[in-house]
A = this chain, B = another copy of it.
Amino acid sequence: MKALSFDGKLRLRTDVPEPSPSPGWAVVRPRLAGICGTDLQIIEGYRGFRGILGHEFAGIVERCDDPAWAGRRVVGEINIGCGHCEACRAGLERHCLERRVLGIAGHPGCMAEFCALPLANLVAVPDGLGDERAVFVEPLSAACEILEQLPLRGRERAVVLGDGTQGILCAWVLSTVLADVTLVGHHPAKREAARWHHLKTSPGPGREERSADLVVDATGSARGLAEAVDLCRPRGTVVLKTTIAEPFDIDLAPVVRKEITLVGSRCGRFRDGLQMLHDNPDLPLERLVTSRYPLESAGEAFERARQRESLKVLLEIQ
């Protein structure tokens, strides 16, 4: 089958063996896949992943031993837990220490004609939800994770740093529960794409954005955290959504002096992302799609995704 593989270089291969279905697993035919910041980090060396890339997809179940799933349109949770540790038993496969992660760690990804996932990871896509919205369930669920992690009361003043896809999704998700949310980003076109209901946007943190109760760093850059800590009020909360491939220099003394709570935040539950889409049918996801490329032009698509003015770049697989 065709697959986009990374072996130190990005390569479109045509000789990759198709996955064969194991009991309890499905072979899925992805139709649309999204390029994520993590994919760009991986080809910079993050986590040393080698193999087929991709973890955001909407597709069709091609083969499996459960007739209830065959032929269904699905998205798929990306963490594959061991199934028997404490985390897995608590439904937190995404924190299983032995987990593999679709296209990120130890398991081939979805930028291929076929990929394999446990049936337990599949989530059916409702009929009214097109592939071009469903492909956002993974990053949207990651944004929803903030709501699962933090006990928000509605009155908090929040600032999201970073106008990339994850920053915008975090700002949208927060603005469903908070009255005062500002997205800070340098790109006028991205700020324009982010406008939704009462969400405010700003080209740079001004006086208004200081002393925020909650600051989300979704800049994807090493300086984002320092800026987030600076904007956060004493005893406030900073959510760290950015993963950086390399260690970086930071002064954490202000975290101690201001007694800030810094919360690392990663993947979320797909049911939360789907619920968010169901409750907010006017969420303007289509504005986040910068471009679509066929899998055959994946090199070009990754180049496009890497440009600073790009938001989500999608790959059409078949």
**Interface on A for B, CB 8 Å cutoff?**
46, 87, 92, 95, 97, 145, 149, 225, 234-235, 240-266
Contact = CB atoms under 8 A, between A and B. Distances in A.
B264 A260 contact: yes
Contacts of A265: 256, 259
Which residue, A46, A259, A263, has most C-beta atoms of chain B within 10 A? Answer: A259
B225 A259 contact: no
Contact of A255 (B253, B257, B262): B262
B266 A252 contact: no
A250 B250 contact: yes
A145 B149 CA distance: 22
A235 B251 CA distance: 23
Contact of A95 (B225, B234, B263): B234
A227 to B, nearest CB: 14
B247 A250 contact: yes
A95 B211 CA distance: 12
B259 A262 contact: no
A266 B256 contact: yes
Given A244-B252, A247-B250, A256-B264, 4 more contacts: A225-B252, A248-B250, A255-B264, A261-B264
A96 to B, nearest CB: 9
B266 A235 contact: no
Given A87-B234, A235-B95, A149 B251 contact: no
A230 to B, nearest CB: 12
Nearest to A250: B247
Contacts of A251: 244, 246-248
B256 A241 contact: yes
Which residue, A149, A251, A260, A262, has most C-beta atoms of chain B within 10 A? Answer: A262
